[in-house]
């Protein structure tokens, strides 16, 4: 039986640049760094973000940007704080998709390796409730 998501791994060109991205935007707590020792396919670091294990591994960046993404939930009151953190790093924002009132706010942005991230204020139950209203 599935208990939940174990971890999410991102392949990044520069571990230190990715570390800066995760720490400055998400307040990620670095819990492991392999240094020059590798137990997996390349050097890696592990972080905790909101109780979720996030791994980064050294490798080639994604060749293109897509809409595949991971979304982190934040309180509505923190929306402007996260927008400021992202801008401070000079990160590219992606135009958000059209929204209907009641499904929350989102910020979409790419990291240095073409991964898309979303900061979102809504919940699944809020979205389903809003979509039922048509």
Exposed e or buried b per residue across 101-113, where buried means at least 16 C-beta atoms within 10 angstroms of its C-beta: eebbebbbbbbbb
Whether pLDDT at 89 is above 70: yes
Mean pLDDT calculated for residue range 4-15: 96
CA distances from 63 to 38, 58, 59, 75, 94 (A): 25, 15, 12, 33, 17
Marked catalytic residue, from 3, 30, 44, 118: 44
Contact, 77 vs 127, CB < 8 A? no
The domains located in the chain, with CATH, are 1-60 (3.10.180.10), 61-134 (3.10.180.10)
* pLDDT tens per residue across span 30-73: 999 999 888 899 999 999 999 999 999 999 999 999 999 999 99
Residues of the chain with pLDDT > 70, as a percent, come to 98
Catalytic residue check, 44: yes
Sheet of 69-73: strand order equals 69-73, 116-120, 106-110, 93-94
Tokens at residue 101, please? 């009132």
Q: What is the pTM of this model?
A: 0.89
């Amino acid at each position: 039986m599935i208990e939940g998501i174990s971890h999410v791994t991102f392949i990044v060109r520069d571990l230190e640049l990715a570390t800066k991205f995760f720490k400055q935007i998400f307040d990620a707590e670095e819990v492991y760094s392999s240094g020059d020792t590798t137990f997996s396919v390349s050097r890696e670091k592990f972080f905790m973000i909101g109780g979720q294990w996030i791994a980064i591994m050294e490798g080639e960046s994604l060749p293109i940007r897509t809409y595949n993404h991971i979304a982190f939930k934040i309180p509505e009151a923190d929306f402007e704080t996260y927008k400021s953190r992202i801008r401070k790093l000079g990160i590219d924002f992606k135009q958000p998709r059209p929204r209907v009132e009641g499904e929350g706010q989102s910020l979409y942005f790419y990291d240095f390796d073409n991964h898309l991230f979303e900061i979102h204020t809504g919940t699944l139950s809020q979205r389903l409730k809003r979509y039922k209203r048509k």
